[in-house]
Structure 1
Amino acid sequence: MNKRNNFGYKTQKKRNQSNKPYGKKRSALATQKGNKIQGKHSTINKHRGNKKKETLEVTCTGLSNEGKGIVQWEGKQLEIEHLLPGETAEITMSTSGRYVNSELKRIITPSKDRVRPICSYYYDCGGCQLQHMNEQAQKRFKQDTINKLMKPFGKPDPILTMDHPYDYRNKSHTTFGLNRERQIIGGLYAQNSHQLISMDRCLIHDPKADEIWKTIKDMMKSFKMQPFNEDTGRGFLRHVLVKVGKVSGEIMVVLVVASPIFKGKNNFVKALRKAHPEITTILMNVNNRDTSMVLGNQEKVLFGKGTITDTLCGMKFDISAKSFYQINPVQTEKLYSTAIEMAQLTGKETVIDAYCGIGTIGLIASQKAGKVIGVELNKDAVRDAIHNSKCNGVKNARFYQGDAGKFMVEMAARGQKADVVIMDPPRAGSDEAFLSSVVKLKPKRVVYVSCNPVTQARDMKYLVQNGYEVKDIQPVDMFPQTVHVECVSQIVLRDKN
């Protein structure tokens, strides 16, 4: 896997001779000095062979969907990170056969939209991609992205942004390793690599979550706890996962370990609770597989009930270590409220909540619907949805484990009807099998909630070609400082008359 090329290329190249997750704590290598930004951004994989290298002056003409600056070179379109529209810059081009590497050497004319990133790890980490833009430029970029994707279906509404676009993540996980001095460090992997970036604070994480993992890092030495090393397979602590109930204040800490043998666990838990009495539950998750997945299958509660509770749109939800729950509850309330408005519920409708997860959208919709049917493949999520339904005293919602597409086809075969289908698929979007089942069932309205507008536009095209039309499109900035944006659309069955 390619390592991320950070600003300060010569220094970074030396550091990256080893792929092991250690290294001295670094401040951001990308520093702005006047109009100069030092560094390299590679547009493709490194390629050995005869290379041709030249320095060019270019002008950025726009942004890609990934927020990278677009420049033209010999009839080719190149994408360079951290370059803004209208900026002129000096870049170094390295060509080897059909492969091209682009290096951002310095910015000659900076954009008025450029700001200094407030995160000192911004250019090392890569988890955020837009901190070099001011808030208005970020808003404009995301709005333009949605406008282009949704142009065949109509004009989207103005994007719903966040008043305080930091500290919003209610879920975070931290990885641990050793630096060259064999000291324990904690932080995040650089984007598209296993290069561990030692850090003290992620500005989009909940601040309390960062405080907790730093306490755990400081405790590891006294408890003789070694971080897990992926290369050798030795060590104990792999990750720390923290989930925070933004409304309830409840906090879950999950210690992801390589072995179920946890020496001194009672004293460790006692010490952690003393340092952070706000923690309401602590779990040990055993992941002894050679995998990029954070959580393993074996789990043990060390303190508390093993879940936390939080409130969303007036409904309470129990959240487990593995359950999916939107990471930005402030913006989620805007997203879900918009989705319920688009459903146009009067209290009589039958609503299908496809891809229902732990039942969040369906249970919120149940307050205004006649009946809600939630369908989800993951049996654990269905169990959580049923539990959440009971906890909220909901009588008009039922949840089923299975394929939502097949479920709707069977409903249509039995002559059953649904007035509204709410769908919130994963980033890959839906598929033709599911979409065709929607067409067979013929609900009056489809409310499509998407975390990937690219696949949403693809799926909406299918529905439009099969008897539906798009009435409303609302983008929501769920992930400030990143290129990601969510979008909810109302799609209605066309009147044949």
Structure 2
Amino acid sequence: MNETVKKNDIYEIEITDIGTNGEGIGKLNELVIFVPDAVTGDKLKVKILKVKKNLAYGKVEEVIEPSPLRREPYCAVSKKCGGCQLQHLSYKAQLEWKQNKVYNALTRIGGLKDIEVLPTLGMENQAHYRNKAQYPIRKEDGKVQIGFYASRSHRVVDWESCGIQDARCEQVIKIVRNFLETHNISIYDEEKHTGLVRHLMVRTGFFTGEMMVCLVINGDSLPHTEAFLKALEAVEGITSVVLSMNKAKTNVILGYEIKVLQGRDYIIDTIGDLKFKISALSFFQVNPVQTKVLYDKALEYAELTGNETVWDAYCGTGSISLFLAQKAKKVYGVEIVAPAIENANANAELNGITNAEFFVGKAEEVIPAKYEEGLVADTIVVDPPRKGCDEALLETLIKMAPEKIVYVSCDPATLARDLGYLVGNGYKVEKVQPVDMFPETTHVETCVLLQRRTM
């Protein structure tokens, strides 16, 4: 333990950097101090909460001199809620920080040299951009709590309003809270695995205005359903009210069994000219405005002329596949989640797209098998989960030797690892474009164009 910096003592610290998780970084007697809600240039009084051998953690007690990059958070619970880590940082500075985050990952983790990371593509209006919200429901001191988990905990921060969710969520939460309290409906206790109502999920069509309300229950039915539906009539745009039955003792939010209480089991939204059916269990990007920006960039990098065969690995519900199919000769998509492929086929039919074909399975198994059968692609698009691409898939990409690989990533660290592998096996990184899909948070999407090197 560091003897010169003591727990519970207060020190004056200047913040000199921001870490990968959005926390401010300063130094005290050469000891690195991590301070949430702090930005580069802040001069602060910091209370030390934990001291380790080479670092310590603290919290802001007082802002002595605010940084020019600092702004006042517009959400009343921003310091308690774990949803927005960067709301106290100006938006311009957020975009620059995300650009640097990608650059640092590619150079330090991927070992890439002479790399240029383009400025992050941001949003003109960052308010109310999310089309999906999942709220844990708990009971504390006899009151129903609906909100988000506090940072690094399972304690629910009761929520009245949020600057990044659809504004109608506020109305839905009030109705649900009042319904549960009025009818004395039991609330789930995750330690005892008792009680009925676990979560509230709200999905909205950003461009269509349609809304789905989904209650997740530890049971088979909801008491006083008619009263619940009657209360929800006050909310404009609700086209789907469903129950998700989740009786498992798990931290997975949704159960696989969905019961329609009213309307359809899906809502519809658009990205560009394409329509998408979005069910309770569908994966769909949470920021449709920036999704179009990201997909347009992927399409631009693919440079399709109408003669190409394209693989879309980790295709999900087929959203990128269908974008590519508008310009390609043939698109093949693969995804391990069977319901997602059902959605992909339904979305292809909804949009009259006939040149997209989808397979259920692991990308690292399906694509190599199809390659052995003689299916070779001119361009491959990969959009893997946070863990990045499986090594077997990367090996197949090298064997197939497509002219272009377009890599869409939600995690700079695993992106850097995979790019390092591809660059070491015959590819060159041509363009790196961060896209801000999640304003006010530390997350960033990146679209990368790789070109096969000619010997």
Scaled by the length of structure 1, what TM-score is found?
Answer: 0.85
Q: Which of residues 151, 162, 176 in structure 1 aligns to 2:123? A: 162
Equivalent positions of 1:165-176 (< 5 A) are: 165-176=126-137
Cα deviation, residue 302, structure 1: 1.2
Residues 155/275 of structure 1: CA separation in 2 closer, same or farther (3 Å cut):
same
Give the partner amino acid of 1:223. H
Per the TM alignment, residue 209 of structure 1 is displaced from its structure 2 partner at its CA by: 2.3
Structure 1 residue 90 and structure 2 residue 45: aligned? yes
| Comparing 209-218 and 114-123, the one that deviates more | 209-218
Mapping for residues 217-256 of structure 1, pairs under 5 Å = 217-256=177-216
Quote the offset at 1:121 in angstroms: 0.1
**Among residues 487, 490, 493, which one is paired with 2:446 in the alignment?**
487
Does structure 1 retain, via aligned residues, the 8 Å contact 2:35–2:57? no
Q: Which of 86, 103, 113 does residue 69 from structure 2 map onto? A: 113
CA distance in 2, matches of 1:291, 1:304: 29
1:189 correspondence with 2:140: no
Moved more, 375-384 or 80-89: 80-89
Q: Which runs of 5+ in 2 are unaligned?
A: none
Task: Assess, with a 3 A threshold, how the Cα gap between structure 1 residues 105 and 386 changes in structure 2: closer, same or farther.
Answer: same
Query: Who is 1:8 aligned against?
Result: none
Equivalent residue number for residue 323 of structure 2: 364
- Specify the alignment match of 1:34 in structure 2: none
Q: Which residue of 2 aligns with 1:79?
A: 34
Partner of 1:130: 86
Question: Match for residue 414 of structure 2?
Answer: 455
Letter in 2 for 1:62: D
SS at match of 1:61: strand
Q: In 2, distance between residues paired with 1:209 and 1:52?
A: 40
Q: CA deviation at 1:165?
A: 0.6
Q: For residues 160-181 of structure 1, give each alpha carbon's deviation from its aligned partner in whole angstroms, at most 9, with x where no partner exists.
A: 110111101100022222332x
3-state secondary structure, aligned to 1:409? helix
- Counting aligned pairs with the same residue, the percent is 36
AA partner of residue 257 (structure 1): I
SS of the aligned residue for 1:123 comes to coil
Query: Number of residue pairs matched?
Result: 445
Residues 220 and 53 of structure 1, relative CA distance in 2, 3 Å threshold: closer
Once the two structures are superposed, the pairs formed by residues 420-435 of structure 1 within 5 Å of their partners are 420-435=379-394
Counterpart code for 1:83: A
In the other structure, the counterpart of 1:24 is none
Q: In the alignment, does 2:106 pair up with 1:145? A: no
Matches within 5 A, 1:467-482: 467-482=426-441
Residue 174 (structure 2) aligned to one of 204, 214, 221: 214
What displacement does 1:146 show? 2.2
Contact 2:168 2:235 in 1 (8 A): no
Displacement of 1:236 in angstroms is 1.8
**CA deviation map 1:234-273 (0-9, x unaligned):** 322111111001112211111111111322223422x134
Partner letter of residue 38 of structure 2? L
Aligned-partner SS, 1:117 = coil
Sort the Cα spacing of 1:97 and 1:264 in 2 relative to 1 into closer, same or farther, 3 A: closer
1:386 aligns with 2:341: no
